């Protein structure tokens, strides 16, 4: 499993978060996607590799802009596996 973190510019409210989450869910088979307009980020948990350019296109089509993409291993559990 992988965690993909997108820095997204332009999200201003909960509806913005919903638009980005829905666009990601429609375009890719993901386990989980959550967005935060206060942090300006979207976090995706997936088993499959998702090409960065495809992610950018899916989010950019909603009117928001992906500023950066980073990938890290997904650690399941309380506090990201810190205490497990």
Ranges of each domain in the chain:
2-76
* pLDDT above 90 (res 38): yes
* pLDDT above 80 (res 79): no
* pLDDT above 90 (res 26): yes
* pLDDT above 80 (res 81): no
Q: What's the CATH number for 2-76?
A: 3.30.70.100
Report pLDDT for 76: 76
Going through 1-77 in order, the beta strands assigned E by DSSP cover 2-9, 32-36, 41-46, 65-73
How much is the average pLDDT of 50-70? 96
User: Among 35-49, 51-65, 69-83, which stretch is predicted with the lowest mean pLDDT?
Assistant: 69-83
């Amino acid at each position: 499993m992988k965690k993909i973190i997108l820095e997204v510019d332009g999200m201003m409210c909960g509806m913005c978060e919903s638009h980005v989450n829905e666009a990601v869910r429609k375009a890719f088979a993901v386990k989980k996607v959550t967005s935060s307009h206060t942090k300006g980020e979207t976090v995706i948990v997936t088993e499959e590799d998702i090409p960065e350019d495809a992610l950018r296109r899916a989010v950019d089509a909603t009117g928001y802009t992906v500023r950066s993409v980073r990938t890290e291993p997904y650690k399941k559990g309380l506090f990201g596996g810190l205490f497990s």
